[in-house]
Structure 1
Amino acid sequence: MTTIEQGADVSADLTHQLREAIQDAEFAPHQRLIEADLSERFGASRASVRTALLNLANEGLIERLPNRGARVRAITVAEAVEIVEVRMELESLVARKTAQSLTAEDAAVLRELRGGILDAMHEGSLIQYSRLNQQLDRVIWDASGHATAIGLLERLRAQSARHQFRLSFLPGRATLSAPEHVAIIDAILARDPEAADHATRVHLAGIIAVLRSQE
C-alpha cells in the first residue's frame, strides 16, 4: 500500500469516527471542531483531520466558517423530516433485501433483539431501548448486503440522529414504536419482503408525524 493510499484509509476511518461521535451527541450543535483538539483526541495528523472535516462538510454534518474553522451544523426539524422521508425509501429497500436473503445467523440475532426491545420497553429503560433500536437498524442494514444503501443511510442517520434520540424520550413514545419494530422483525423473520417494506414505512411515517408535531 502506498503512502497516499494509507493516508486515504486514515482519513476515511477518521471521517467515520467523527460521524459516529456527532451521531452519538458527543459534539453539540454549533460546537466548534478545533483541528488540534481532534488530532490529539483521535491520534491523527492535522492533515487527516482537515480531510475528515471536509468530508463531513460535504455530507452536511458540519459547516466551515470563514476564518473560524468548522462547527457542527444544527439540523432543523424541517430538514430532519426530509431526511426521514429519504430514509423511508432506503430502509424499506434494505428491509426487503434482508427478508429475501435472511440467514439463520441473522435470524437468531433478530429474535434476540426482538425480546430485548420488548423487555426494555416494559422496564422503561429508554437508553437501553434506544441502543437496541440502533443495533436493530445496523443488523438489518448489514444483512441486506446493499452497500450503496448502507453508505447513504449512515450519512442520513448521522444528520438526523439528534432529533430521533430526543424523540425516543418523549412520554409514551416507546410503547408506540416498540410494536412497530417488532412488526418489522416479524416480517423479516417470515421472509416476507412486502410485509417488511410496509412495516418499515409505517414506522418511519410515525417518526415523521412526531417530528412535525415538534415544529
Structure 2
Amino acid sequence: MAESRHLALPSFARWTSVREEVANVLRGAIIAGEMRPGELYSASGLAERFGISATPVREAMLDLVKQGLVEVIRNRGYKVTVISEADLDQITQIRHLLEPTAAAEAVPHITADELVALRELASAIVDAAAEGNLVSYINADREFHIRLLSAAGNHRLVRIVEDLRAQTRLYGLSALVASGRLVDSAQEHVEMCDLIASGDAKKLKKLMSTHLGHTRREWAGRSPE
C-alpha cells in the first residue's frame, strides 16, 4: 500500500466516530494484505492519506495495538504484527469449529428485516469483489458474518470470532481479483442468504465450512500444509 495512495472512509450507519471508521479501514487493509509486516506507518502519513487530522488515526492505531494487529515502534510509528503460518492454520481451525455451527443455529432467529440487511451486505461484498476494492470487501464481509452469527444470541462467541477474523491474513486476494475468481467467492454470501430464507440450516452449515476453507487456500495464496 503505497504512501501516496488515498484512503477512503466509507460511512456505514452504525459507525459512530471517525476513530472507529479509521480503525475498520486499517483493519481491513491489514487483513487483505495491503498493509504488510516490515513496513513502517506513521499516524501523520496515514492521516494525510485519509484527508483528516492525525488525532483519530493515533487513537485508531492504539485500538489496533490492543487487538494485537500492530505494534508501536518508539519515536518512529507503527508496524503490522507478524502472524506465522502456524498461527493462521490454528486460527482457521478454531473458526471452523465455531462459525458453521453458530451460523446454523442462527437461522431460525433471523428476522425478515435482518435478512434484508444481510442481502444488502452480500450485494456490497459482490460489488467490492467486482471492483477489486479489497478493504471494502473485507469490511462488508466482516459485517455480514458478525450480523449472521449475532442472530444466534451468543455474544461471547461473536467477540471471539471477531478477534479471530481480525488476526486472519488474506494475502491471496489480489491474485483472485486479477483472475476474476473473487466474485465467485463473494457470491457464496448470496447463496447463504438464500439458504437462510429457505430455513435450510444444514446446508448453510456445510456452505459456511466450505467458505471458511478458502481462508487457508486460495484467499491466503497457499495450500494448508
Shift in CA distance, 114/36, structure 1 to aligned 2, threshold 3 Å: closer
Structure with the larger helix share: 1
Alignment coverage as a number of residue pairs? 198
Q: Is residue 42–residue 78 contact of structure 2 (8 Å, CA) maintained in 1?
A: yes
Please name the residue that 2:140 is paired with. Answer: 135
Please tell me the residue identity of whatever aligns with 1:138.
Answer: E
2:29 to 22, 25, 29: 25
What is the distance in 2 between the residues matched to 1:65 and 1:115? 39
60-69 or 82-91, which deviates more: 60-69
Q: Is residue 125–residue 141 contact of structure 2 (8 Å, CA) maintained in 1?
A: no
With normalisation by structure 1, the TM-score equals 0.64
Please name the residue that 2:213 is paired with. Answer: 205
Unaligned ranges ≥5, structure 2: 1-16
Q: Is residue 62–residue 71 contact of structure 1 (8 Å, CA) maintained in 2?
A: yes
Higher relative contact order (CA 8 A, sep 6+): 1
Please tell me the residue identity of whatever aligns with 2:24.
Answer: E
Q: Is residue 27–residue 64 contact of structure 2 (8 Å, CA) maintained in 1?
A: no
Q: Any idea what SS the aligned residue of 1:163 has? A: coil
Please name the residue that 2:174 is paired with. Answer: 166
What is the distance in 2 between the residues matched to 1:36 and 1:162? 26
Shift in CA distance, 178/84, structure 1 to aligned 2, threshold 3 Å: same
With normalisation by structure 2, the TM-score equals 0.62
- TM-superposition CA deviations, 1:60-111 (whole Å, max 9, x none): 2113456756422233444333323323333324422431211111222344
Bigger Cα Rg: 1
Unaligned ranges ≥5, structure 1: 1-12
- TM-superposition CA deviations, 1:161-200 (whole Å, max 9, x none): 5526436425253364245334322222222333222210
Root mean square deviation, CA, Å: 4.2
Please tell me the residue identity of whatever aligns with 2:140.
Answer: Q
Q: How does 1:70-81 map to 2 (within 5 A)?
A: 70-81=78-89
What is the distance in 1 between the residues matched to 2:105 and 2:53? 35
What is the distance in 2 between the residues matched to 1:164 and 1:189? 31
CA drift of 1:56 comes to 3.2
Q: How high is the sequence identity, in percent, across the aligned residues?
A: 24
Q: Is residue 25–residue 162 contact of structure 1 (8 Å, CA) maintained in 2?
A: no
